[in-house]
Amino acid sequence: MSRLLVTGGAGFIGANFVRYWLEHHPEDRVVVLDALTYAGNRSSLPPEDERWRWVEGDVVDRAGNEQLLREEEIDTVVHFAAESHVDRSIESPQRFVEVNVVGTNALLEAVRRVWGESEEGGLSPTPRRFHHVSTDEVYGSLGPADPPVREATPYAPNSPYAASKAAADHLVRAYFETYRLPVTLSNCSNNYGPYHYPEKLIPLFIVNLLEGRELPVYGAGINVRDWLHVEDHCRGLEAILLRGLPGETYNVGSRNERTNLEVVEGLCDAVDRAFAAEPELSKHFASAPPAAGVPSRSKIHFVKDRPGHDLRYAIDPSKLERELGWSPRVEFDEGLAATVRWYLDHERWWREILGRGGYRGWIARQYGRPSEL
């Protein structure tokens, strides 16, 4: 039996991970630590029960982290908590350094102290692990003909978000080299799936379509991302936690490179197909293009490019496949259709977010007045 601390468990991937872990490891205890920033949602998690505990707190608080680690006798930390949106990092980088860099160090320090104490008397009775969840964006942008990044590819982060994640990754490595803290790292490509906050490309565009708004594609839509379903990411994290070696980094991706325009067109077609199959949807989402017999693709609208917009991310997951036996299971078009279905079926979840002043403020700042979208 393991006792897990999951930081950022109310965010997109964290919540999917907590749900996955509770389902597949019913014997384990899970403690979620989350500051409930704008991106955190209690409603993304199941109701609390004796198997898992909710703690609202900030990873930057080292003493608070220490207390929780002791109190819950945590042996496994899965660190998701971060500021995660590139566009917000361009607007205000400071918070990214505070949470992603200082916060990661505060958590590492707490873990080092607490796990170090009980090791004075000899080997710890349970194997321990600090797993740091990171991104492929730390490797920077690839040219069209470059090979996908491997674990040994040098870091070259371009956005403040990517730079803050890269700094955190280096700290995690340093705690292994310096203190022999049993760490593992994973660098994953773009995720999509349920409970994805509607500021990122896929969920934003789904809710925009359902609300009859335009789809603001940055630049010419030629940037390439390597999309992975969040459940495949969770399975990858499980493989690393159970079989990964301390000090090792594993890249997680599905060799599913698509231009943004391809993703958006696929999304539009998935929405149109869902409406065609279920006429009730047109009554319920009356502003959506298919409700008026218009293809969703007509809402594609090219807008000013993101500054420093990385052209291409592509990740080589061979090490994770070869050494830990992981492979992605969700085919992209099916995953996209299932994600559209999830947003159709969970309107309450996203409408509550759309109703928040903070969300509306961000959309207005980033894209102009909401009515222009």
Q: How far is the CB of 209 from ligand NAD (least distance, A)?
A: 20
Q: CB-wise, 32 or 337, nearer to ligand NAD?
A: 32
Distance CA 124, CA 122 (A): 6
* Residue-wise burial string across 170-196, b where 16 or more C-beta atoms lie within 10 A, e elsewhere: ebbeebbeeeebbbbbbbbbbbbbbbb
C-beta nearest to ligand NAD: residue: 11
Q: What is the CA radius of gyration of the chain?
A: 21
DSSP letters along 48-66, please?
Answer: PBTTEEEEE--TT-HHHHH
Q: 186 touches which of ligand TYD, ligand NAD, none (CB within 5 to 8 A by kind)?
A: none
Task: Confirm whether 28 is a catalytic residue.
Answer: no
CA angle 82, 108, 180 (to 5 degrees): 135
Residues that bind ligand TYD (CB under 6 A): 86, 190, 200-201, 204, 216-218, 223, 225, 260, 306
Catalytic residue among 66, 83, 137, 272: 137
Q: How far is the CB of 207 from ligand NAD (least distance, A)?
A: 15
Q: How far is the CB of 99 from ligand NAD (least distance, A)?
A: 4
Q: 39 touches which of ligand NAD, ligand TYD, none (CB within 5 to 8 A by kind)?
A: ligand NAD
By the 8 A CB rule, do 30 and 22 touch?
Answer: yes
Task: Confirm whether 137 is a catalytic residue.
Answer: yes
Q: CB-wise, 153 or 223, nearer to ligand TYD?
A: 223
Q: CB-wise, 165 or 299, nearer to ligand NAD?
A: 165
Catalytic residue among 136, 169, 231, 272: 136
Task: Confirm whether 161 is a catalytic residue.
Answer: yes
Tokens 């009980």 belong to residue = 118
Catalytic residue among 34, 58, 139, 161: 161
Query: What does each C-alpha distance from 151 to 53, 224, 318 come to in angstroms?
Result: 34, 20, 10
Token digits of residue 313: 């991310």
Query: What does each C-alpha distance from 251 to 131, 309, 316, 317, 357 come to in angstroms?
Result: 13, 22, 7, 5, 37
Q: 236 touches which of ligand NAD, ligand TYD, none (CB within 5 to 8 A by kind)?
A: none
Q: How far is the CB of 22 from ligand TYD (least distance, A)?
A: 27
Residues that bind ligand NAD (CB under 6 A): 7-8, 10-14, 34-37, 39-40, 58-60, 80-84, 99, 103, 133-135, 165, 188, 190-191, 197
Cα–Cα nearest to 185, from 195, 172, 198? 172
By the 8 A CB rule, do 284 and 343 touch?
Answer: no
Q: CB-wise, 251 or 289, nearer to ligand NAD?
A: 251
Q: CB-wise, 11 or 266, nearer to ligand NAD?
A: 11
Catalytic residues: 136-137, 161
